[in-house]
Chain A
């Protein structure tokens, strides 16, 4: 036998094995890297651009305006003090006056996120209790009183036309979501979601592509749209629209190194949910695991454990139910921006 063919054969066998090993490693690596499929963020993103600046100040202001009994310190602006008074009036049962004060306060300082958020949340709770009492009284088509009629959308629209900024647009977009939360029918939710997304998209595409509140709000809009809703061709969105937006938020947070563990965990859960809707169950579960590792608080751990218990067959239906429940949590509506600074 000619021994010559031995060596070429061995070499090619080894080469083949080497290639195979490399290929397998690459596949494995991709499958791991692909998990953290986060979009890339430009290096020059700043806290200011992302809207995540001064979070602790916001926390303080928020605490101040909600506690009328505290010392009336002089360090806050007139508009903040006016908001505090307005809220106090509402607590004392003078709704119309309180609402007027809040609106005046916001007119004076339209870009103040804390004031706008407080205004929206007060209106939300007022409308909610009005609707509840109407329901108990058996009134089929309740009409809001003048001070609540069309609010907060009409007022925030007015503010936004007077003072067009990303903050005012954001609040208006969130007001549409408030409207969606208050009324159960799909046929009301869907157009509200469309309005909201339109405004948020304006913010994002007109130069504020890293503004986290808008990105997160839009991502949540997409996430909460029930899968069974049928959108016309012009308004349809890709299945991973929510995942894109929420993923972006997380990427920005990581680049800037900001955001509490709790906030990060909340976002991670939402990103997992978004991946479920995009049909990528493996990735979804990995993100839920990340959330679980980030924060040990009950209101993170319990939702994650619930999600883990869902089998593949039922996962979409269970998720939709969970999202329905989240929208129905009226005591602390999802649109309450306080979660950013608390």
Chain B
């Protein structure tokens, strides 16, 4: 639980996150990845660009929180957003590292549905950067964990442990399982061999997506079953995009899914269903049956 301190004189509430806030662990993990990347893993990130992203995101988050919600916050979410962007986004143009974090943080405040945002800010920022910056942005292949597979294994283990803490293990397994399944289909479809289709799983891009973007609580369904379907569905969309050689498919797939999250929530409300069940609505209507009413 966050502690709230309210000063009688000041109109603000000061929000201090508790140690058990999952964002704290995530921020520590991302910081560690960034530091290791700069020192031993040959990530070659430009420190100026990273610093700029962190500065812009945190400042904007604090200002907007102050203005919009009358809160003085410790910008952990913005910090996470900025580091994810810094680690993944690549460009020779420094201005991208001002715009993308800004877009990400703004999306949290400006794109809302019934008082909560539904896009993962880093994902939103990356997709917008890919689409709207005249080709100057790419997602960095960089150097993948120093090109040593053992490090990927360690990252995977740490990542899974974190997922247990934030109760998103099911989601991650659904996504990874779905990815493997789609890779088999792609191999069957002749796109490439096992190494080519499964290989990206060993890279930093996949790990960062899986462990820091995908499990965002605001950008995924609140029930366990819903999350299973969610993860699998993203994997299917990603697989199809990869088959058609669309680069950055993971990010687009997540983006599209989060974009229709409000619709799903609205449908669920109208039908009186739990949020998990809109999937049922879709699948059942495909197979020609009417949804069963349940009490929410």
Contact = CB atoms under 8 A, between A and B. Distances in A.
B8 interface: yes
Contacts of B7: 5-6, 9
Contacts of B5: 5, 8-9
B113 interface: no
Interface centre among A3, A6, A8 (most CB of B within 10 A): A6
Interface string A1-17: 10101101100000000
A197 to B, nearest CB: 33
Nearest to A8: B5
Contacts of A6: 7-8
Contacts of A9: 5, 7
A9 B4 CA distance: 11
A77 B71 CA distance: 90
Interface string B1-41: 00001111000000000000000000000000000000000
Interface in B181-234: none
Contacts of B8: 1, 3, 5-6
Interface in A1-40: 1, 3, 5-6, 8-9
A9 B14 CA distance: 10
A143 to B, nearest CB: 57
Nearest to A10: B7
Interface string A314-342: 00000000000000000000000000000
A52 to B, nearest CB: 46
A9 B8 CA distance: 10
A5 B9 CA distance: 11
A252 B245 CA distance: 72
A4 to B, nearest CB: 10
A6 B5 CA distance: 9
A1 B5 CA distance: 13
Nearest to A12: B5
Nearest to A9: B7
B101 to A, nearest CB: 27
Interface in A263-294: none
B242 to A, nearest CB: 48
Contacts of A5: 5-8
Contacts of B6: 5
Interface centre among A3, A6, A9 (most CB of B within 10 A): A9
A9 B6 CA distance: 9
Nearest to A6: B8
A149 to B, nearest CB: 56
Contacts of A3: 8
Nearest to B7: A9
A242 B274 CA distance: 74
A5 to B, nearest CB: 6
Nearest to B14: A9
Interface string B261-275: 000000000000000
A5 B10 CA distance: 12
A9 B7 CA distance: 7
A6 B6 CA distance: 8
Nearest to B10: A9
A3 B7 CA distance: 9
Interface in A215-269: none
A82 B8 CA distance: 95
Nearest to B9: A6
A158 B240 CA distance: 86
11 contacts: A1-B8, A3-B8, A5-B5, A5-B6, A5-B7, A5-B8, A6-B7, A6-B8, A8-B5, A9-B5, A9-B7
Interface of B: 5-8
Interface of A: 1, 3, 5-6, 8-9
Q: Which 9 A-B pairs have the closest CB atoms?
A: A1-B8, A9-B7, A6-B8, A5-B6, A9-B5, A5-B5, A3-B8, A5-B7, A5-B8
Given A1-B8, A5-B7, A9-B5, 8 more contacts: A3-B8, A5-B5, A5-B6, A5-B8, A6-B7, A6-B8, A8-B5, A9-B7
